[in-house]
Amino acid sequence: MDGASPPAAPAGTAAGAPAAKGGAPAAALGLLRACRPRQWLKNLLVLAAPAAAGVLTDGAALAAALFAAALFCVAASGTYLLNDAADVRADRAHERKRHRPVASGAVPVRLAVAAGGVLVAAALAAALAAGPLGGDGALALALGGYLLLTGLYTLWLKHVAVCDLVAVAGCHVVRAVAGAAVVGVPVTNWFLLVVSLAALLFVLGKREAELRNPGSGGLRAVLRQYTRDYLARMRAVATGAMIVTYCLWALDAYSGPARALFAASIVPFIMVVLRYNLVVDQGGGEEPEEILLRDRPIQIFLLLLAGLLAAGVYAV
């Protein structure tokens, strides 16, 4: 080069970042990808408490639960965009995350921030305006708590070991509690314990998989505070506690013919947990939703589990 100054980065693009390519259609497609539709599976947790309480056969309860799940999808997508914008520099140096739309430049950082803010605000406004459909404010309160927790995670908690695990697991628990609140069913201690331990198990598996990836461990300071042995031990603790808790609930929560069905559900439940731990030990788990979408044995076990629980709640 002859020493001439390099061209200025396009507006909305950080210096040294790749510029958005393909114009508006490509940016729109990238924005949709950045919303992470695959991760909307997590928001099925909103339906867990209403399903377990047997109220999804009621039209109003079903509508309220689906509405809550949809708003959590919108809010979660907004937080993903904001988080990707905040992490853009680290993601560009990551061997896998550099292909994300914001990190790759397919979606400009300013667009990600603007779209994320709009989605978060829209979800919260819709919850506030929902009235009885939103549990007369219960959904807005739960969604506000979720957004507060994800905001704290993005700004602070993800940089603090152990706190990052609890924060991510807590977001899953909030989803489950929101579903109960919006349809007005109580959250039992058993339900709360199983969901909390399951969420913690998935987060521990995710961190363990990230630690195996040199591109992750060398870039995120919080990962360097963990060891694989520590995460594997904590995963074993969460696994054992969750299985025991579920078994105690399944054997004690119901009487009559339903009790046999819930007792039988212990078998596919344990198989799901064991299979997930095997996948993590084999190197998977960095994207837990991909396991649910691609692992056929887990899909079969989950269908058996759901069938037995549904029969126990609705058919007996």
Write out pLDDT tens, residues 186-199.
Answer: 999 999 999 999 99
Two tokens, residue 73: 């999808």
- One domain for residues 232 and 279: yes
**What are φ and ψ of residue 286, in 5° steps?**
-65, -30
- One domain for residues 113 and 248: no
> What pTM was estimated for this model as a whole?
0.87
- One domain for residues 305 and 281: yes
Number of domains, the chain: 2
Distance (Å, whole) CA 108 – CA 203: 29
| Cβ neighbours around 130 below 10 Å, total | 20
pLDDT digits (tens, 9 = 90+) for 155-180: 999 999 999 999 999 999 999 999 99
Last residue of a domain, one of 155, 187, 219: 187
Query: What are the residue ranges in the chain where pLDDT is below 50?
Result: 1-16, 216-218
In a domain, 2, yes or no: no
Distance (Å, whole) CA 202 – CA 292: 11
Domain with 176 in it = 36-187
With beta carbons less than 8 A apart as the criterion, state whether 259 and 221 touch: no
Last residue of a domain, one of 130, 162, 187: 187
Nearest C-alpha neighbor of 267 from the set 290, 287, 289, 250:
250
